[in-house]
Amino acid sequence: MAMLDYDFMRNAFAAAAIVSLVSGLVGYFLVLRGQSFAGHALSHVGFTGATGAVLIGITPLWGMVAMTVAAGIGMGFLGERLAQRDVAIGIVLALSLGLGLLFLHFFTAYATQATSLLFGNVLAVDRRTVWILLVLGLVSVAALAVISRPLLFASLQPELAEAKGVSLRLYAVLFLAVVALATAECAQIVGVLLVFALMIGPAATAQRVTTRFGAGILLSAILALAEAWVGITLAFYTDWPSSFWITALSAGIYLLAVLLYKHGTVHQPVPVKIAVRKPK
């Protein structure tokens, strides 16, 4: 408990709790929809937005949020079906990387800030940022709760959902906007290069263990929170980067789930049926 005597550690645990819970919830749908590549692309887009924001003198977080949300909406409009979606993500990713290269050309004087954006530094989060993350997290979770039922229907049975009047494109746009917010938040903890650690790892592990929606999404959030908090604790006592510990825990727990499932220790239960009403 001695580490909680420090303000920066309390801020780190608070920020990690907010971000990990949001990432676990949003990441579950991201993996379920087969859009892990989208989360990866949005993290790179976020780096472009953050570097651009620094160059014009505003907070990197707001540049990251603006760029990722714009890119997420763009991806959603460009294509919902798998083939269209990959092309759309590739186009947005290529454009963002080109802009990022241009910004990095002018960003050489800020090497420390660039490293922090790439790999994260949760121990540098201040109280003001914690409150910003809390507001963004509440917005993300509220938006996800509103669209969750039709989004789940569109994810599992897209043809039937479309026949029932569910707009696949609309929910793709709304969901990717939520993913963009979650990605921008997640980058504050593990950096844009390691977003997979909190966004994809816990969700993939949860879906390895159970196919039940309620249990799966709850397990995803709990795993993300546990990995973030344990990672910060290990970083405090070892002086190794917290991002390393979080990614190592995420990968290790996922591999353990794969091995247990492969050897029959973990049995996937029969998925429950979820009644989905046609949205009004």
Q: Please say whether the beta carbons of 243 and 119 come within 8 A.
A: yes
Establish if 183 belongs to a structural domain: yes
- Tell me which range, 18-22, 263-267, 271-275, is most confidently predicted by mean pLDDT: 18-22
At 6 the three-state DSSP class reads coil
Establish if 113 belongs to a structural domain: yes
pTM score over 0.85: no
Domain holding 101, by residue range, is 2-194
Distance in angstroms (rounded) separating the CA atoms of residues 200 and 154: 20
Q: Residue 155: which of 175, 136, 135, 141 has the closest Cα?
A: 175
Establish if 169 belongs to a structural domain: yes
220 versus 76: the higher-pLDDT residue is 220
Distance in angstroms (rounded) separating the CA atoms of residues 50 and 65: 8
Least confident stretch, 45-59, 79-93, 238-252: 79-93
Total residues found in the chain within this entry: 280
118 versus 217: the higher-pLDDT residue is 217
Distance in angstroms (rounded) separating the CA atoms of residues 104 and 253: 35
Count of domains forming the chain: 1
Distance in angstroms (rounded) separating the CA atoms of residues 239 and 168: 47
With 50 as the cut, is the pLDDT of residue 266 above it? no
Q: Which CATH number covers residue 138? A: 1.10.3470.10
Distance in angstroms (rounded) separating the CA atoms of residues 16 and 121: 11
The residue type at 225 = L
Tell me the average pLDDT across 109-115.
55
Least confident stretch, 3-12, 14-23, 200-209, 268-277: 268-277
Establish if 119 belongs to a structural domain: yes
Establish if 112 belongs to a structural domain: yes
Establish if 251 belongs to a structural domain: no
Least confident stretch, 160-169, 196-205, 214-223: 160-169
Establish if 108 belongs to a structural domain: yes
Q: How confident is the model at residue 123 (pLDDT cuts 50, 70, 90)?
A: confident
Distance in angstroms (rounded) separating the CA atoms of residues 39 and 35: 7
Establish if 42 belongs to a structural domain: yes
Q: Which is it for the CA torsion 135, 138, 143, 144, positive or negative? A: positive
